[in-house]
Amino acid sequence: MTWYTSVSNWILSKLPASPTAVVATVPVGAGVPLTVGDIKAAMGGLPALGVALSDIVRGTATMSDAEVIGEDILAGAALADPALAPVLSVAATLLPYALNFIGSGAIKPDPNPIQDAQTTRNFNPGDPAARL
């Protein structure tokens, strides 16, 4: 049994049986009710998150792991601030495309970010006063 299965089972055992029962109210604005169904839906994604985090720890992470973690972060942000939910749903839709563009090389990271960074002085590797 994995750690996330144990945690998931423990949390689910503490919840009421009705999926529409309000468990808590997220203190944002007037308050967003958090139901048993919301928690069960979130728990469904816990195994994929556990695998993605394990892959990162082992050093075998792929873009699909980044996608899982990114989607979970966006879902958490939407729960924290429901006013952002429409924008975050668009971001969640575009996330796989952005990761595919990065993975395919269509979007390339800066090969020399230190040299290209904006500085207050000309960058000189031997100048300790140069601020990056």
Write the pLDDT tens digit of every residue in 70-88. Answer: 888 888 777 777 778 788 8
Residue 13: predicted pLDDT: 80
Cβ contact 33:82 at 8 Å: no
Those residues with Cβ within 8 angstroms of residue 27's Cβ, 6 or more apart along the chain or in another chain: none
Among the listed residues 92, 3, 2, 4, the one whose alpha carbon sits nearest the alpha carbon of residue 46: 4
pTM for the whole structure: 0.56
Give the residue extent of every domain in the chain.
3-107
DSSP 54-110: HHHHHT---HHHHHHHHHHHHHHHHHH-GGGHHHHHHHHHHHHHHHHHHHHTSS---
Cβ contact 78:58 at 8 Å: no
Q: Over the stretch 16-68, which tens digit does the pLDDT of each residue have? A: 777 777 777 766 556 667 777 877 777 777 778 888 888 888 888 888 888 88
CA quadruple 43, 45, 51, 52: dihedral positive or negative? negative
